[in-house]
Structure 1
């Protein structure tokens, strides 16, 4: 695994997305943190939308960012929609890691931007879970917090 792959899938500088989302319930994902304009579910919607558009560009399936793409949800997701978002995010991450194995220059640039963008939002998800009292972020095997 190269550094770009690790940066996309976690384990380079931050926890793996699966670890961050482990045991996340709909109730916590849909709960607002006072003062924040979004929920964990909203961030997952954002990650799903931006990853799909970025991967389409990186893979050559698209030549430009989609016009009018809704990168933030207009209404809160249902439990079923959240489950679908989690699946979409997992599939997009798997595709990103695969594309990062031997990327073209265009793909490398897009995937590097995506890795930085995603890391920012995974940090938000981890922080919101902590603020909800839902997650410590600690791994008993390594004894560390979010960053290890």
Structure 2
């Protein structure tokens, strides 16, 4: 037999944790700090021996966050990409501002979902709303680690606003 109060408390704790996973917090540098002070040239510079630019990483995050938000908001599965390369849009010089703004627009779309009382409801045949949000948060955090490494490799870390240097 399950304790309904415990389920409610667990869901509230998860809802409080989700924004921290998307934005950063005590455990890692926040996304705003990780993206701050980057020029278009820096954001589109690919360091030697690394596969992506900061702008390319953020465009990839945007692709998946948009895809998963569409599933949550439409309540049905979206076609899965045929190739991983399909989720890595090309980002040309001069597009950094657009890519960064899209990231923040998608983040704003995520916020109301993190506070939903129905996180345990299925959104498709395989996952719940909460599972999709957690997947999005972990994917975003994973690639923001790469954003920081890429910034370090091009000599653009830490940002002027601060950030851990270790």
TM-score interval, normalised by the smaller of the two chains: 0.7 to 0.9
For residue 107 of structure 1, the aligned residue among 117, 129, 134 is 129
- Residues 14, 137 of structure 1: alpha-carbon distance in 2 compared, 3 angstrom cutoff: farther
Trace 1:64-143 onto structure 2 (pairs within 5 A): 64-68=78-82, 70-73=86-89, 75-79=90-94, 81-102=95-116, 103-105=118-120, 106-136=128-158
How much has 1:61 moved relative to structure 2? Answer: 5.0
Alignment gaps of 5+ in structure 1:
none
Deviations along 1:55-105, one digit per CA (max 9) or x if unpaired, are 1112335422455583102x44231x2211111100111221221112522
Trace 1:20-59 onto structure 2 (pairs within 5 A): 20-59=34-73
- The TM-score, its normalising length taken from structure 1, stands at 0.83
RMSD between superposed Cα atoms in Å:
2.4
Count of aligned pairs between the two proteins: 142
